[in-house]
Structure 1
Amino acid sequence: MYGGVAAVKELSLIVCRGEFLTILGPSGSGKTTALMLLAGFISPTNGDILVGGKSVASVPSYRRDQGIVFQSYALFPHLSVRRNLEFPLEMRGVKAAERADRVANLLARVHLDNFGDRMPSQLSGGQQQRVALARALIADPPVLLLDEPLGALDRNLREQMQSEIKTLHKEFGITTVCVTHDQEEALTLSDRIIVMRGGAIEQIDTPEGLYDRPKSLFVANFLGEANLLNGVIPLPNDATPTSMLSIIRPERIRLAVPHAPTLADAHQRQQANGVVTEVIYAGALRKYNVQVGNNVLIMREHVASDQQVFRPGDQVRLDWLRSDVRLVATETNNGVE
């Protein structure tokens, strides 16, 4: 509770052994509070937290056998890389010879063999992140907690570290819970994703399930972009305008000139005519905004050398497979609009 407001409510979930679970949500959704509960930095006002079948809700953080990686890395600035990694082992009473072996092996695993004597201030952001991951893994904890682990890195380095984290997770097989607001990061790393909103779980599913089968407009828009088709095409007979919305992802729409040849699967498609209002070139992708009546539909396509390029003001025909249209709820189960 914060000032009488429940930061997290009705949070009930099971994390499978060896799973990579990501908690995703906007600021104020409760995702960081959920991680702080798991880490033991705050205590739940109700309910329990079980790890391996044993309650840890009243166990302080320093006595929980878990690894934690913070966005700020939280390395000891006065200790060398090697000493940073040795510290958790010393606290567990591991003998010096075994500590040295485990530190050397893990430094090699994160490609920092020759950096053991350096201080954290002498490392790049990516190298510091590797040290933080190694320190969290070195004691072989049953649970690894990641708090916005890549938020301080630039895009290219972030993508490299996503690949590194995924490889390490596969190799160590450690149960991992990650908190992030980065949708791409969540989709890339996770076995399952929890989308939170207003302190409650909005939806839990695999990355493919969340993206392709969102249950609400909030999830659809938070995990990518979604075009509203209400007012463009009629809703199915079993849906009402007040309860369901019809959506489609931008990459599922095809653009063509108004009188382009009919496709062989035309009977499986829906179509609409519109006018291009904006074209955005983004390297590998080209994005179109198309005015269709009172609606603006977004369309994305991968850039290819032989494709037709439309310009603002061009008349176009949009079409998509009926099977790519999804119905989502206008309201969510936690009552937040």
Structure 2
Amino acid sequence: MNLYPNLSQFSSKEFALNEDPVAAQIEFRRVTKMYGPIAAVKDVSLTVRQGEFVTILGPSGSGKTTALMLLAGFAAPSSGDILISGRSVAAVPSYRRDQGIVFQSYALFPHLTVRRNLEFPLEMRGMRAADRVKRVDQMLERVHLAEFGDRMPAQLSGGQQQRVALARALIADPPILLLDEPLGALDRNLREQMQGEIKRLHREFGKTTICVTHDQEEALTLSDRIVVMRAGQIEQTDTPEALYDRPVTRFVANFLGEANILEVHDFQIETGAAQPSGTVAMVRPERVCIAGSGAPKRADAEQRQSVTGKVEDMIYAGPLRRYQVRVGGSMLIVREHVASGRQTFKAGEEVCLDWLRSDVRFVER
């Protein structure tokens, strides 16, 4: 894929800056993208509201990156249509779509300084030199890189390169920002720091933003809504809280965090509501409480289901402990916060697990 087309063939008029850009609404209308006999994206319909931050989440091969490439104009739909602010862009080439793009590799020009990397899109749009300097200075301040304008990309840390890439995507004030696995090349601590930076920039600029990632934590942290894709189709779209607490399908429940699927366990499931046909019961590991086998009953015991089991493993993960508890012939996962004075259980110990019946969710098989 050529990320840098020969821009010299286009006139600066084609790249003229919008004097008053507005956040754009995006629509996918029954979009399908075929690669030979394989549908990378199949009959996808989605509306993204103006100024919204939407993350497309899914495993490898789910179609999330293809959906982003279709929106960016690097691929054309086999059928269906893509609209931006009510106008079809399915046949519009990428260089004529007013979008800022941040790639996983950052795609900075290695032979240009930070300042020249930011100037480039403004120069291609015909902005005067004095105005370019002013705009670049303002953007460097906003991404906290005012002292790094004369450095080359290779002289920057990963987080600094990421901020330069974000600044370059935003500097021409496009109505749409596209992020392709934007934090995939960073270590965990830096990813968390940059998540906060991206959220700050989104609040500040108010751009309609589409982010593609396979990182569940990143999606939950950044998004107004999350689109979960599987095998080229949308499995579920909702707010982060709703997706995690009320997944519709077993796939979403397992992909967005961990899930104890109670169907396979050797005990009668007790819930506060009738189980719809074609569903299985599920409870999140952090909703399950663990206690010693001789512990007294809880005050709300009548609202809970209790089972006994044996600890098979305990994993310490800083603020959390993760237990694997065998109940009959099956395994339940428990996640609890580490707290002073809380009992720790070792492999082989008998324990009691319980959870509120109201915390049980039903998901499609």
**TM-score, normalization: structure 1?**
0.95
SS in 1 for 2:35: coil
- Post-superposition CA distance 1:120-165 (Å, at most 9, x none): 1111111111000000000110100000000001111111000000
1:122-201 mapped onto 2 (5 Å cutoff): 122-201=155-234
Report 1:1-337 matches (<5 A): 1-230=34-263, 231=265, 232-234=267-269, 238-239=274-275, 243-330=278-365
Classify the secondary structure of the residue corresponding to 2:336. Answer: strand
Deviation at 1:235, TM superposition (A): 6.3
Q: Do the aligned partners of 1:21 and 1:178 also contact (CA within 8 Å) in 2? A: yes
Amino acid corresponding to residue 276 of structure 1 in structure 2: V
87-96 vs 158-167, greater mean Cα deviation: 87-96
Q: Number of residue pairs matched?
A: 329
> In structure 1, what residue type is equivalent to 2:288?
I
Structure 1 distance, partners of 2:195, 2:244, is: 19
1:333 corresponds in structure 2 to none
Runs (4 or more) in structure 1 with deviation over 3 Å come to: 235-240
C-alpha displacement of 1:238: 4.1
Paired residues of 2:270 and 2:305 also in contact (CA < 8 A)? no
Secondary structure of the 1:13 match is: strand
- Counterpart residue type for residue 164 of structure 1: E
Aligned to 2:24: none
Shift of 1:30: 0.2
SS where residue 215 of structure 1 aligns?
coil
Tell me the amino acid that sits aligned with residue 289 of structure 1.
Answer: Q
Question: % of aligned pairs identical?
Answer: 71
| Equivalent pair of 2:42/2:232 in contact (CA under 8 Å) | yes
CA shift for structure 1 position 90 = 1.0
Normalization by structure 2: what TM-score?
A: 0.88
AA paired with 1:33?
T
Deviations 1:188-213 (A, max 9, x none): 00000000001000000000000000
Tell me the alpha carbon deviations over residues 54-94 of structure 1, each in whole angstroms, 9 at most, x when there is no partner: 11111100111100000000011111110110111111111
In structure 2, what is the Cα distance between the partners aligned to 1:316 and 1:235? 19
Structure with the larger strand share: 2
CA–CA separation in structure 2 for the residues paired with 1:28 and 1:215:
21
Q: Cα deviation per residue 1:227-284 (whole Å; 9 max; x = unaligned)? A: 01123333668437x7211110000000111232211111111110111110111111
Q: How far apart are the structure 2 equivalents of 1:314 and 1:75? A: 55
Question: What letter matches 2:104 in structure 1?
Answer: Q
Matching residue's letter, 1:239: Q
Aligned 8 A contact 1:24 1:194 in 2 = yes
Whole-Å Cα distance in 1 between the matches of residues 268 and 178 of structure 2?
Answer: 45
Taking the aligned partners of 1:24 and 1:176, their CA distance within structure 2 comes to: 14
Task: Write the distance in 2 (CA, Å) between the matches of 1:233 and 1:134.
Answer: 56
Looking at structure 1, the residues matched to 173 and 53 of structure 2 have their Cα atoms a distance apart, in angstroms, of 16
Asked if the contact 1:256/1:316 (under 8 Å) is kept, the reply is: yes
Q: Is the 8 A contact 1:235 1:246 kept in 2?
A: no
User: Any gaps of 5 or more consecutive residues in structure 1?
Assistant: 331-337
Gaps of 5+ in 2: 1-33
Distance, in Å, in 2 between the alignment partners of 1:203 and 1:170 is 25
Q: In the TM superposition, what is the alpha-carbon distance from 1:318 to its structure 2 partner?
A: 0.5
- Inter-partner Cα distance in structure 2 for 1:2 and 1:235: 47
Aligned AA (1:206): T
Deviations, residues 266-322 of structure 1 (Å, cap 9, x unaligned): 111111011111011111111100000111000011111210111111111100001
Letter in 2 for 1:129: Q
Distance 1:268 1:235, change over 3 A: closer
